[in-house]
Amino acid sequence: MSLKVCVLVSGSSGNCIYVASPNTAILVDAGLSCRETMKRLESIGAVPASIKAVCITHEHGDHVSSIGPLQRRLGADLYANSGTIDGISRDDKMKSLPWKVFTTGSAFTIGDLRIHPFTVNHNANDPVGFVVSDGKSSAGIVTDTGEANNLTREKLKGCQVVVVEFNHDEDMLKDSSRPWVLKQRIVGEFGHLSNKQACQLLADIASPELKTVFLAHLSGECNKPELAVKCARAALEGKGLQKVVVNLTYGDRASEVAEC
């Protein structure tokens, strides 16, 4: 096996993803406490000291809340684009972090991993998704986006593993007690993907190379795991991909580990 992928935590309370080749390990986002991140890494057999870098998708708190403690604990490099760094640096406690700056759209390397950041639609300074590859296998990560545009489809197509936001069920969101303004933000171009939108994305990127799908950022109030899983499997089976593994992600524990 080449790449390992595990979603250590996913949801509005925190987001953090482990991606590793046999020689290089990174985290995508840092929204889980340092102590709990260490605990969950150890629970999947990963050695925290092996983490070489933390790559940030955008500046929202559920993706960066533990970036300082994690960097000090791991001694890992921190990667983000300038827009994300500007957003994070508004917090005085994060102004002096030792960033390595990448340019959205330009790939960079960490050990034997090649990371390609690409633009996604979300209400942040310069939010990105990532494709992480070791030259043999690729993992595509899109955890927060209001729409799956052509660029997102292009980047995820051909990946063996994808982590895709399945935020809400449209009817459950509509019937929820959330304020109208919040509902409009969630369903807007820069909000979050619904099950229906995410399933259309899966159908669009479906190929024989795809082995595992992680359903990420499920709303606890406006979605149900069984609805998201049913939708995802229907989309994949509609493309003749009955053998693709569909994994849920969680707030209180790490997901299954995918290997490709």
Which residue intervals of 188-253 are DSSP H helices? 195-205, 225-237
pLDDT digit string (tens) for 179-225?
999 999 999 999 999 999 999 999 999 999 999 999 999 999 999 99
Which string of b and e fits 167-203 if b means at least 16 CB within 10 Å? bbbeebbeebebeeeebeebbeebbbbbbebbbbbbe
For residue 27, the model assigns a pLDDT of: 98
Q: Has residue 242 been placed in a domain? A: yes
Average model confidence (pLDDT) across the chain: 96
Q: Has residue 161 been placed in a domain? A: yes
- Of the candidates 229, 69, 249, 75, the one whose C-alpha atom is nearest the C-alpha of residue 163 is 249
Q: Has residue 259 been placed in a domain? A: no
Q: How confident is the model at residue 63 (pLDDT cuts 50, 70, 90)?
A: very high
| Percentage of the residues of the chain whose pLDDT score is greater than 70 | 100
What distance in Å separates the CA atoms of residue 95 and residue 133, rounded to the nearest whole number?
A: 30
- Of the candidates 167, 217, 173, 163, the one whose C-alpha atom is nearest the C-alpha of residue 11 is 217
What distance in Å separates the CA atoms of residue 88 and residue 59, rounded to the nearest whole number?
A: 5
pLDDT digit string (tens) for 106-126?
999 999 999 999 999 999 999
Q: How confident is the model at residue 92 (pLDDT cuts 50, 70, 90)?
A: confident
Mean pLDDT value across residues 237-248 = 96
Residue 181 sits in a domain whose CATH number is 3.60.15.10
Q: How confident is the model at residue 94 (pLDDT cuts 50, 70, 90)?
A: confident
For residue 76, the model assigns a pLDDT of: 96
Q: Has residue 9 been placed in a domain? A: yes
Structural contact between residues 127 and 120, judged by C-beta atoms closer than 8 angstroms:
yes
pLDDT digit string (tens) for 3-52?
999 999 999 999 999 999 999 999 999 999 999 999 999 999 999 999 99
Enclosing domain of residue 195: 4-254
For residue 124, the model assigns a pLDDT of: 94
Residues whose CB falls within 8 Å of the CB of residue 32, separated by 6 or more in sequence, listed in order: 8, 9, 14, 15, 16, 40, 65, 66
Q: Has residue 112 been placed in a domain? A: yes
Helix (H, G, I), strand (E, B) or coil at 248: strand
Mean pLDDT value across residues 129-158 = 96
Number of domains in the chain: 1
Q: Has residue 260 been placed in a domain? A: no
Q: Has residue 156 been placed in a domain? A: yes
- The separation between the first and the last C-alpha atoms of the chain, rounded to the nearest angstrom, is 5
- Here the tokens at position 242 are 């009955």
* pLDDT(248) > 90: yes
28, 187, 194, 209: CA torsion to nearest 10: -50
For residue 1, the model assigns a pLDDT of: 54
